Structure 1
Amino acid sequence: MSALPDALPAPHPNPLAETLARLDARIAEAGADRGRLLDVRALAERTALGEGEVRGLLDGGAPVADRVDDRVRGRVRALHEAYVARSGKRAGEVGREVAERLSISPEWARRLLLGRKMPNVPDLTELAAFFGIEEGVRFFTDPAAAVLNRELGRALAELEGDADDDGPLVEFATRHGVVTLALRGQRLTRRKQEALAVMLEGLLGVDDEEAR
């Protein structure tokens, strides 16, 4: 009879739980407001998940069981609704743009965007490009915990200084003794950071002149 192993292999860690633990540690160190930093509404919009689902995952709850096709159709619908609200375009106009991009009829595009029909892989690839989704098809197919973990990983990288330690806004904050900059979950490119820092410098300069 073969000998038993000395120790059982360690269970595979939960990536989302690990990311949340690291985020909570950083938030505690900074004395920040967890609810503001991990804004449920903003995270839901960026992940195309429901606010209730995001809130549950942030609180350590178990992911809701779902089917892949329901997952895909729901996220397409959520992206479409957010895009319409953000762009100010009419749903019909967006539908025609998607129909032209996917080389399908406007009616079929409407059904896809409303989550009534399941898109194929080529259509999902084009929809990801249309909505500016860097992750491509897996954004629609990955489980909710994986999608949220990816988004939180970006926030963690920023808190840990992996995302542009010496960025213009960090330099500005250090120079002027600013404790925190609340951008409500928005990730800014270096060019946008530079523009915002210049604008803030100008505003502070005006204040200094008025105080003299």
Structure 2
Amino acid sequence: MNESPPPLPETLARLDAQIAEKSLDRGEVLDTRALSGRTALPEGEVRALLDGEAPRDDKVDDRIRGRVRTLYEAYLAESGRRPADVCREVAARLGISDKWARSLLNGDKMPNVPDLTRLAEFFHIDQGTKFFTDPAAVALNGALQRTLRELEGTAEDGPLLKFTTRHGVITLALRGRRLTPRKQEALALMLESLLSGEEAER
């Protein structure tokens, strides 16, 4: 059975200890915008939690609707697709009308559990419905665990992490955790080639 992660304050204390020990930039390691994207939490809320502020009180319904809307808006921005096309596809996936799908995606209506499960699948959310229902501190804490394991040396190293830590480029290694293994491998090979070429010219 997997152990539960430590609470957020402990995670942040351990992260800050590693950041200080390795002389890293806290803003780069704990990238507010990236964490917001990974958790569907507003940047301001992520920043407040990273600064040690108490999480704000919220209702589960508001939490779910807000995260669905945030995911939808991020998906539109990243994919460049038209809202009408996305609503139509979601409606087909959920077996509902386009109008109801639009209301769900805009956060105007509350999805039921089956719809929420299918929305998690549509947006490729590994955590399933927990992604939408976990309190903000729990969601952020979960997103920070990978970073903590990498800094403490307990994560399973990907190709980019192995390469960049070997060359002392810690912040690039941390940013690379958002790339797929194939993209990490390609970037590591490209950097290896560039560095090898520089050494040959000396």
Common fold, TM-score beyond 0.5? yes
Q: Give the match's secondary structure for 1:201.
A: helix
CA RMSD in angstroms comes to: 2.0
Does residue 163 (structure 1) correspond to residue 162 (structure 2)? The answer is no
Asked whether 1:61 is paired with 2:50, we answer no
Distance 1:39 1:99, change over 3 A: same
| Structure 2: gaps spanning 5 or more residues | none
SS at match of 2:170: coil
Distance 2:114 2:165 in 1: 47
Larger Rg: 1
Alignment of 1:141-156 (within 5 A): 141-156=133-148
**Structure 2 counterpart of 1:199, which letter?**
M
Counterpart pick for 2:77 among 85, 88, 91:
85
* Counterpart-to-counterpart distance in 2, 1:173 and 1:14: 28
Deviations 1:29-55 (A, max 9, x none): 110000111011111111001111111
Q: SS at 2:127's partner residue? A: coil
Distance 1:180 1:14, change over 3 A: closer
User: Does the Cα contact within 8 Å between 2:68 and 2:132 map onto a contact in 1?
Assistant: yes
Aligned residues: 197
Deviation per CA, 1:36-84, whole angstroms, max 9, x where unpaired? 1101111111100111111110011011111110000000000000011
TM-score by length of 2: 0.90
Q: Give the TM-score normalised by structure 1.
A: 0.86
Per the TM alignment, residue 174 of structure 1 is displaced from its structure 2 partner at its CA by 5.3
Contact 1:95 1:110 survives alignment (8 Å): yes
TM-fit CA distance, 1:113: 0.3
Structure with bigger helix share is 2
SS of the residue corresponding to residue 143 of structure 2 reads helix
Going from structure 1 to structure 2, the CA distance change for 1:181 and 1:59 (only over 3 Å counts) comes to closer
